[in-house]
A and B are shown apart, each in its own frame.
Chain A
Amino acid sequence: MSLKALKLTLVKAWPGALWLIIVAGPLVILRVNEITGRVEFVAERVVKLLVGAFLAAFLWGLFRQLSGSPEGRKGNPPPLKRLGLSALIGAFISLKVNALNKSRLFWVIVALCLLFFPLMTSPYALKVATSVLIYIALGLGLNVIVGLSGLLHLGFAAFYGVGAYAYALLGHYLGWGFWVCLPLGGLAAALLGLALGLPVIRLTGDYLAIVTLGFGEIFRLLLTNLDVTFGPRGIGQIAPPGFFGLDLNQTFKPFLEANIGLNPAMDLNKVWIYLIVLGLVALSVKVASRLENSRLGRAWLALREDEIAARAAGVNIAFTKLTALALGSFFAGLAGVIFAAQITFINPPSFSFMESIYILVIVVLGGQGSIPGIILGATIITVLPEFLRGSDNYRLLIFGGLLVLMMVFRPQGLLKRGR
């Protein structure tokens, strides 16, 4: 980005700031006195409002520039977009922003940004974002097994593959749709997790790692050599998720393009997948954080820390291990179904040992057991290679080096599990 463009962005931020001040200003500088019921003017907040509005407008412009949205090029904002945003902020005001506490507000803003992200970006950025989200779901799943329960699992990609192939095959042979296959893919992966778990309950540490590694490889070899799975050729033309039987591109695209400034190259099916996986990740984060502070979650942690002490506290090891394996695999199955829908073509190499390692790196890099760590880890692991394009051969080397450095300097991960 050139200096000139930066200057332009600075100048262009003024009208935006003014608009923000008009819309949001009253909310900031006026306060309802709850005792007297009268509206009061809060002078201290004026400076905050000015600075905040300008910064927000500037960052917004900067973001526009960087994400290369059509508006940045045309410079002529579609009227509906303005209107939409105003309505949004209006709705926000009626939500009584003041009543929301700060962290709540933060999350609302993050959620809104994530929700509207597809409208402001390119198909390529959307694809990367969707990948990040899929890897977050995978990381959260493996985190239950490796991070929380301390079971070293080196064949996790197989469970991801089960979900993906479940959707692809059920769709191909039976014509089943995404929404039926999503829970089925998760369940199939969970059942396979149990099937793997039963014989290995007694194994720990290295032995478990070897068995899971072998399991993952067997799965990949089966996919490659079976006829039902179309062997190494893989399966293509996987259907996108349905939306009340509508063709998204035909129904909504012209409108969104004309009025909201949607990138014309954008495929709305991909937007829909992004939103689905976003919802899934939000749900997963919620469930995962709930699990961590539950009786079961603590049993997992106890198992990881000291199996004998855990048993002495009454923890049933078999049940604890099996729930961890089944639940972690369930996450992977869901992620697999979505992955298949996103890339529309899958083949065995997508679920190789290396894939298992990538997911493991996410968990280890982020900080075992830490949910924010996993989000960060998934982002790094997915976005970093995009910058290293062309040097694909070095990718593994870089990840390997990264892991070694992590183990030496920050074995607890980038973001430690908070309590």
Chain B
Amino acid sequence: MLPSDAPTAGNPILSTHNLSMRFGGLLALSEVSLAVKRGSITAIIGPNGAGKTTLFNCLTGLNNPTSGLITYRPQEGQTVNLTHGSLDKAARLGLARTFQNIRLFNELTVLENVLIGLHSRLKAGLWGALTGNKKTRAEEALALELANDLLQKQGFGDLTKVLAKNLPYGLRKRLEITRALAAQPTILLLDEPAAGLNGGEAQDLIKLIREVKSEGNLTIILIEHDMSLVMSVSDEVHALEYGRLIASGTPAAIQRDERVIKAYLGEE
């Protein structure tokens, strides 16, 4: 049941086919088929409980869908079946994400959080850690440099040694995104990145999203309630309601879609 205007053409980087997720008696996702264009910014919208986070969880392997198929094409001509993946495997394959209720390593410093974000790009194992050999030291120095550069760029200036738990809310959200970026992902999944941000911070976020997208050939999928943000950054929008995909299209088209207006915008 592919929606008529779903962008199936053009070799999508990530696509789902009839994806369903059942929690006991609750069907959180029901036969969702959608495709995400390579290099696009794709927004997932929908009212509370529509299944947006569940979709993210399925895509990143935190939940395994009850039925359906998830296909990931990291590069042209390369196909990976993500249906029964796991969170860490998805991360190693290039899917980095943030969480709706920020998940930082609270008792660790800002720098350590980002260094852990680099985990899948580094190689040192037990032996390297025990012996501290030359290769490991070089890698460690490089990791520090990468992390510090990224933090400087994201405006953490002299906050790198601060414990993550001591950061104000806005910076915590930003740190979580920075940590995800450290992995140099192919796809960045942001679960309500603007929730709780004030006007200025939301503007910064939009700037950040545009910047990281234009710099790396990154694909971004974001869940968002803030319609103005969705409309201003996204190329493509998918709307969910009660676990079903009710519409897909450009922001302008979605804004005009009657089912979306009724289900989602109409509520406000």
Contact = CB atoms under 8 A, between A and B. Distances in A.
B39 to A, nearest CB: 22
Interface in A274-332: 287, 290-291, 293-299, 301-302, 305-306, 308-317, 323, 327
A220 B116 CA distance: 39
B2 interface: no
B124 A296 contact: yes
A301 B164 CA distance: 13
Contacts of A323: 126
B179 interface: yes
Task: Provide the main secondary structure of the chain A interface.
Answer: helix
Interface string B86-127: 111001100011010001111111011001110110111110
A306 B117 CA distance: 13
B112 A301 contact: yes
B88 A316 contact: yes
A306 to B, nearest CB: 5
A147 to B, nearest CB: 11
Nearest to B121: A314
A298 B115 contact: yes
B67 to A, nearest CB: 24
A389 interface: no
A315 B130 contact: no
Contact of B88 (A287, A297, A298, A314): A314
A419 B161 contact: yes
A316 to B, nearest CB: 5
The CB with the most chain B CB atoms within 10 A, among A291, A311, A313, is that of: A313
A308 B103 contact: yes
Contact of A299 (B60, B119, B123, B130): B119
A305 B179 CA distance: 15
B62, B116, B122, most chain A CB atoms within 10 A: B116
Interface residues of A, number: 27
Interface in A143-172: none
Contacts of A297: 129
B122 A306 contact: no
Given A295-B122, A295-B124, A314-B119, A308 B106 contact: no
Given A287-B130, A302-B105, A315-B116, A309 B124 contact: no
A327 B179 CA distance: 28
Centre residue among A294, A311, A314, A327 by max chain B CB count within 10 A:
A314
B108 A301 contact: yes
Contacts, number: 103
Contacts of A308: 62, 87, 99, 103
Contacts of A309: 99, 103-105
A296 B126 CA distance: 7
Given A301-B112, A309-B103, A311-B87, A291 B120 contact: no
B157 interface: no
Given A311-B86, A314-B88, A305 B119 contact: no
A295 B88 contact: no
A306 B120 contact: no
B11 interface: no
B140 interface: yes
Contacts of A315: 88, 116, 119
B127 to A, nearest CB: 10
B183 interface: yes
B126 A312 contact: no
Contacts of B60: 312
A261 to B, nearest CB: 40
Given A312-B87, A313-B120, A290 B129 contact: yes
Contacts of A291: 129-130
B132 interface: yes
Given A294-B124, A294-B136, A305-B106, A299 B116 contact: yes
B128 interface: yes
A6 B139 CA distance: 56
5 contacts: A295-B129, A308-B87, A309-B99, A312-B91, A315-B116
5 smallest CB-CB distances across A and B, nearest first, come from A314-B120, A294-B129, A314-B91, A305-B105, A311-B87
Interface of B: 60, 62, 86-88, 91-92, 96-97, 99, 103-109, 111-112, 115-117, 119-120, 122-126, 128-130, 132, 136, 139-140, 143, 161, 179-180, 183
